[in-house]
Structure 1
Amino acid sequence: MLSRRSLIKTTLGAGTALGTAALLPAWARSAEQGNLGLPTLTGTQFDLTIDQFPVRLDGRAGLATGINGTLPGPLVRFREGDDITINVTNNLEEDTSIHWHGLLVPFYMDGVPGVAFPGIKPGETFTYRWNLNHSGTYWYHSHSGLQEQLGHYGPLIIDPKSPDPFAYDREYVLVLSDWSFESPHRIFSKLKKMSDSYNYNQRTLPDFLADASDKGLGAALDQRMMWGAMRMSPRDLSDVTGATYTYLINGHATADNWNAIFQPGEKIRLRIINASAMTLFNFRIPGLPMKVVAADGLNLQPVETDEFQIGVAETYDVIVAPETSDTFAMVAESIDRSGQAVATLAPRAGMQASAPALRPVPTLTMADMGMAGHGDMNMSASEDMTGMDHSAMGHGTNAQTSTMDHGAHSMDGGPAPEITRGPGVANVAMMPMSRLDEPGIGLDDQPHRTLSYSQLRSKDANPDLRLPEREIELHLTSNMERYMWSFDGVKFSEVTEPIKFYEGERVRLTMINDTMMPHPIHLHGMFFDLVNGGGHHKPRKHTVIVKPGEKLSIDITANHVGDWAFHCHLLYHMHAGMMQVVSVIGADDAPMHRQMDHDGMDHGDMGKAPPPEPQIGDDMMGHGHGEHDGMTHGEKS
């Protein structure tokens, strides 16, 4: 249903605004329209307007909510170290906001209503101001309701003060997204009634017969009965699929043929941003290797691959160097293989690469149930934990009675905290394990190279080489039948206490995915170091995919005081409750024991030579219980 104001705006704009080119910013137009990847908004002061406007996607007309009348929004580009002012005006009939994803802004400029600020009321203008000392590929989007699904997102690039460490001749921004002509509120309502409403990839009788032929009738029956007992489908890969989604690259469906041009022998930088609401994409360019040089805006030691999985809200920068005058298909295929967006990289404008056929639908395995490994061997690539303070053990994980006391928990060989199955916890991973060596669901059997998190190394040494002082363990939980998503079985609206960090501390956050879906988890306001065996060069990210049945750790330095959102970046999961608040408490307000050199280090020596680099594979599993870190565990807080 359209309001009278929206209907008038749609009617007035239909005659001039339904052309695809008119609805795209210059950077997102195809090469035949003159685009060379140039930005549209540069400088230090920007004016953005949030409004509704008509769009035409894949030959159909719709109504978008977006920025400056384009889908995606304009490319905002500025330089590291500049004083930036962005005026955002709300022309909607409801509140709105803009969150600057991955940017280290003051918390009151982070753009999360109810956490960082009240939001932007209809008719009001809010001014964001900051000065940033980092650079790279980022993006921005609404954090209000379900507006992001309606087109409220756009790319953002911060150019570095110093030259990039890798050379290239031209660049293109690729914004991947999913669009539905259904209202996002209707989509959410259907998911609440039946979580597999959009899953048309369920297993059939021919699948069962194929399993019986391959594994034997008894094994095939046992497997079907096991999945049935859990009331889960091994094809439950995405909640919202190509049944309603049109997948886009820079606002173009495959039929629209977004194309970029190159000259043979050139090096082309592709800045790839997953700005979708619910879709993890597998990105590849058949016949053209990719050199991954940055993740989530920060430079990496280059690694060459042929395909990678990119979670919602992640970004990757890659360099490609075509030597011939062929056309190349840039393919973003949804994780469940229900659809894809294909764009063209070619030597001349207007050329179109052949879209590859969709590949067979992946099937979940025992590992995705959290039953494929030994429960204790869950961080095979983690760093040595010697020197870590395990004395403060207050983390409650009881889904029924927890007061969400997110303190550090035992690492001394005692029993792991258990989570009680309540209405929000349908399953618990029995044997969670590290899956950092795996490229992502559906990519482990590909004939070409696929990227895994274990391959990533930061180009520069991590800025904080201290070992964690404590560990927080957090479970990713769900009840698919009720479409409930949460942390530790508690949805956001029922949380009574935030997760507390203390200014200056080094903390390890370990996440256990008890669900059977991958979750791109995003922490606002700070980068984290992914514990992947990288020693002093762990990849630094702001968003990480936690695979089903996985136990994954990140190390965080709590430098930015304030309240920060922490959530799954699958929009409807966050909307259903998979969100928390991380409060970084200032040193003056910290408990007394934390004001008194609580980590046992001489902070006057922090600028001296770093400790020896841990060897890959070192972890606490190889030490005796109770004394592997040289600390006493008899005293619990």
Structure 2
Amino acid sequence: MQTALTRRRLIAGSFGLAAVASVPMPAWARGESLSHARQGFGEVSGERIALSVDSHHFAVGGRSGHAIAVNGTVPGPLVRLREGQKVRIDVTNNLAEDTSIHWHGLLLPFQFDGVPGVSFPGIKPGQTFTYEFPIRQSGTYWWHSHSGLQEQEGHYGPIIIESATPDPRYDRDFVVLLSEFTPVHPHEIARKLKVGEHYYNNQMQTATEGDMPLKDRLMWGAMRMNPRDISDVTGATYTFLINGHGPLDGLEYLFNPGERIRLRVINGSAMTFFNVRIPGVPMTVIAADGKDVEEFEVDEFQIGTAETYDVIVTPPAGSHALVAEAMDRSGMGVASITSHKGHRATPPPLREPVTLTMADMGMGSMEGGHGSHGGDGGHGGHAGMDHGADEATGAMDHASMDHSMRDTSKLPPDVKVGPGLDMVSPMPVDRMDFPGLGLDKVDHRVLRYTDLKAKRPNPHRMPTRQLEIHLTGNMERYMWSFDGKKFSAVTDDPIRFAFDERVRVKLVNDTMMAHPIHLHGHFFELVNGAGMMNQPLKHTVVVQPGGTATFDLTANEPGDWAFHCHLLYHMHAGMMQTVTVRPFPKAGEGA
């Protein structure tokens, strides 16, 4: 069923079911919905909102298992708020375990941020906790559990905060909430990753597959690294969802020809980066992480876990495939943007799997590129691959390469060297201009962080301090951390900021995986070359493999805040820290 809406009312899409396909299909495409709980989501709004967290059963495309539903749906309901209002949200826990809700990207008092052990004790079984805070912003956000691994089980949903000033640029408004479902219990997934980090990777290269030279294959083998190590959990167990619907559910976004459509794209997944495109239809990016940016037209963009992007499209009459392809290309979420009810667009086939390169080892400068717009974006090609090679034979000195990848002598003294750190990026470079794994070689326009510019100027303040944080891990042992220290080991040693301090933070990724790093309670400014007053505001930044990302932070939200990788199993395995902003301002001196 599809409801006709104006741009002031937002829609999640139709909830009709598709006919069961009679032909064999890959696991990722088995999207027929047979849910025991309602799929998709309703909407709640107003000054007082009630949310109920319950155990449910969920099924999609032959995959069936336990889920956590909020108000009876997976995903949970759209929470619609308005800028300037106050809200009280009563969350009742009907589970047999503690739960919580974190309001991702919202500015609020830290005691209502919803992180057990950091900002509040959590919600016990049978109890109701009331969140109460003013709405100080507008835009596209989302909510999710911060207890255990419940987010993987369906405990998440979208937030839309309507601006006090109407936006005339669009006629129709849709939520595009990207996520995934697996029937495997999340603790079992965590166990399998711990005992075999490639358990869900079905795209490992064979000895002869692809065009990688033999010397490169020997190099990767000598360093005990996998060039197809793109995603930890894949379409081998995941069905990729849009608004809770699998690829065959026939999810529709109906429009009238000539309408301008705002798509609010939210990556509410546990572990998946998505490449989003509507083949043949350009997209104009207007907001990132809920904050307005200067309009920029692209054909595709990568969205990291926990990021949001708002785009405007004006599709011609007909049906157009909205595709959210997993970064490792093991599957996709699919919907139709159509002017003909009941007519499905045909999605493109999955593209070839992505293969890592020297730049992803933190050797970008050896490839003759730093992730620039030119050429292959500093990601492809192998210029400089023979650095350290024997001049007579051109053979790679594997022992020297392996040593350089584990040389800890240049690490800051506060980085803990131990079993949790098995790789050090020898020559990390700023990769703000890199569009994301797999998008550096496409022949159409893709979004890069360097394309983002704040629509409204930021206050001009120079940083008074610099802080460098290393993203560290041991993939074989599935250990993840900041500065070599797991969260459980550093709870009494938080990252400390003085209230209203201006700090430049540099994140150095010493691993070969992309990490979406999220800071609670604040927006920071990406140092992306836009000029200090036009640096885009974000709450989550993707730090590319073997690269760096830098942001300026004004620590003006007092309290204790979580700071972590938003890949759920990385956070669970230790890549998390507490940020403390002290002292609290005196009355009348700050928010």
Shorter-chain TM-score bucket reads 0.7 to 0.9
Alignment correspondent of 2:21: none
Task: Please list, as runs of the form range in 1=range in 2, the aligned pairs for 1:257-272 lying within 5 A after superposition.
Answer: 257-272=250-265
Alignment correspondent of 2:23: none
Q: Secondary structure at the match of 1:205?
A: coil
**Per-residue Cα deviation, 1:126-147 (whole angstroms, up to 9, x for no partner):** 0000002211000000000000
Alignment correspondent of 1:359: 351
On the 8 A contact 1:313/1:543 being kept in 2, the answer is: yes
Alignment correspondent of 1:332: 324
Task: Please list, as runs of the form range in 1=range in 2, the aligned pairs for 1:477-488 lying within 5 A after superposition.
Answer: 477-488=472-483
1:134 partnered with 2:130? no
* Pick aligned residue for 1:459 from 455, 458, 467: 455
Cα offset, 1:292, TM superposition: 0.4
Task: Please list, as runs of the form range in 1=range in 2, the aligned pairs for 1:234-245 lying within 5 A after superposition.
Answer: 234-245=227-238
| Residue identity opposite 1:567 in structure 2 | H
Cα offset, 1:89, TM superposition: 0.2
Alignment correspondent of 1:317: 310
Alignment correspondent of 2:224: 231
**Shift in alpha-carbon separation, 1:95–1:38, aligned structure 2, 3 A:** closer
Alignment correspondent of 1:68: 71
| Residue identity opposite 1:482 in structure 2 | R
Cα offset, 1:276, TM superposition: 0.2
* Pick aligned residue for 1:440 from 409, 415, 436: 436
* Pick aligned residue for 1:152 from 151, 155, 168: 155
CA distance in 1, matches of 2:329, 2:95: 35
Cα offset, 1:252, TM superposition: 0.5
* Pick aligned residue for 1:250 from 243, 251, 267: 243
Alignment correspondent of 1:393: none
CA distance in 2, matches of 1:225, 1:62: 42
**Shift in alpha-carbon separation, 1:297–1:550, aligned structure 2, 3 A:** same
Alignment correspondent of 2:387: none
On the 8 A contact 1:96/1:119 being kept in 2, the answer is: yes
Alignment correspondent of 2:28: none
Cα offset, 1:322, TM superposition: 1.2
Cα offset, 1:273, TM superposition: 0.3
Cα offset, 1:416, TM superposition: 6.7
On the 8 A contact 2:70/2:76 being kept in 1, the answer is: yes
**Shift in alpha-carbon separation, 1:93–1:372, aligned structure 2, 3 A:** same
1:560 partnered with 2:557? yes
1:30 partnered with 2:32? no
CA distance in 1, matches of 2:138, 2:169: 16
1:46 partnered with 2:49? yes
1:527 partnered with 2:523? yes
On the 8 A contact 2:289/2:307 being kept in 1, the answer is: yes
| Residue identity opposite 2:110 in structure 1 | F
On the 8 A contact 2:42/2:76 being kept in 1, the answer is: no
**Per-residue Cα deviation, 1:211-248 (whole angstroms, up to 9, x for no partner):** 3xxxxxxxx23211221122110000000000000000
**Shift in alpha-carbon separation, 1:44–1:420, aligned structure 2, 3 A:** closer
Cα offset, 1:374, TM superposition: 7.4
| Residue identity opposite 1:131 in structure 2 | P
Alignment correspondent of 1:571: 568
Cα offset, 1:380, TM superposition: 9.7
CA distance in 2, matches of 1:588, 1:68: 38
| Residue identity opposite 1:240 in structure 2 | V
Q: Secondary structure at the match of 2:438?
A: coil
**Per-residue Cα deviation, 1:339-384 (whole angstroms, up to 9, x for no partner):** 0011000002221111211000011011000012179x98999xxx
CA distance in 2, matches of 1:106, 1:525: 8
| Residue identity opposite 2:226 in structure 1 | S
Alignment correspondent of 2:36: none
Q: Secondary structure at the match of 2:220?
A: helix
Q: Secondary structure at the match of 1:254?
A: coil
CA distance in 2, matches of 1:301, 1:140: 26
CA distance in 1, matches of 2:567, 2:218: 29
CA distance in 2, matches of 1:143, 1:539: 26
Alignment correspondent of 1:287: 280
On the 8 A contact 1:379/1:552 being kept in 2, the answer is: no
Alignment correspondent of 1:120: 123
**Shift in alpha-carbon separation, 1:203–1:296, aligned structure 2, 3 A:** same
CA distance in 2, matches of 1:132, 1:556: 21
On the 8 A contact 1:521/1:545 being kept in 2, the answer is: yes
| Residue identity opposite 1:343 in structure 2 | A
Cα offset, 1:41, TM superposition: 1.2
1:548 partnered with 2:548? no
In structure 2, runs of 5+ residues without a counterpart are 2-9, 18-39, 374-409
On the 8 A contact 1:57/1:251 being kept in 2, the answer is: no
Aligned length: 519
Q: Secondary structure at the match of 1:158?
A: strand
CA distance in 2, matches of 1:90, 1:230: 47
* Cα-Cα RMSD: 2.4
Alignment correspondent of 1:89: 92
**Per-residue Cα deviation, 1:451-498 (whole angstroms, up to 9, x for no partner):** 000000010011x31010001100000001100000000000111400
**Per-residue Cα deviation, 1:285-329 (whole angstroms, up to 9, x for no partner):** 001000000000010100000000000000000000013x22100
CA distance in 1, matches of 2:41, 2:331: 29
In structure 1, runs of 5+ residues without a counterpart are 1-18, 20-25, 212-219, 382-414, 590-603, 605-637
**Shift in alpha-carbon separation, 1:353–1:442, aligned structure 2, 3 A:** same
Q: Secondary structure at the match of 1:437?
A: coil
Alignment correspondent of 1:183: 185
| Residue identity opposite 1:98 in structure 2 | I
Cα offset, 1:54, TM superposition: 2.0
1:203 partnered with 2:195? no
Cα offset, 1:32, TM superposition: 6.2
On the 8 A contact 2:16/2:249 being kept in 1, the answer is: no
**Per-residue Cα deviation, 1:60-101 (whole angstroms, up to 9, x for no partner):** 433211211101110010111101010000000000000000
Alignment correspondent of 2:363: 371
Alignment correspondent of 1:394: none
On the 8 A contact 2:371/2:433 being kept in 1, the answer is: no
Quick check: which has more Rg, 1 or 2? 1
On the 8 A contact 2:416/2:483 being kept in 1, the answer is: no
CA distance in 2, matches of 1:421, 1:233: 22
On the 8 A contact 1:31/1:350 being kept in 2, the answer is: no
CA distance in 1, matches of 2:136, 2:417: 44
**Shift in alpha-carbon separation, 1:222–1:494, aligned structure 2, 3 A:** same
CA distance in 1, matches of 2:198, 2:556: 41
CA distance in 1, matches of 2:16, 2:155: 26
Cα offset, 1:31, TM superposition: 7.0
CA distance in 2, matches of 1:60, 1:518: 28
1:539 partnered with 2:536? yes
CA distance in 2, matches of 1:71, 1:437: 36
CA distance in 2, matches of 1:39, 1:481: 42
Q: TM-score, normalised on structure 2?
A: 0.85
Cα offset, 1:198, TM superposition: 0.5
Cα offset, 1:253, TM superposition: 0.6
- Answer 1 or 2: which has greater strand percent: 2
CA distance in 2, matches of 1:416, 1:147: 35
Alignment correspondent of 2:464: 469
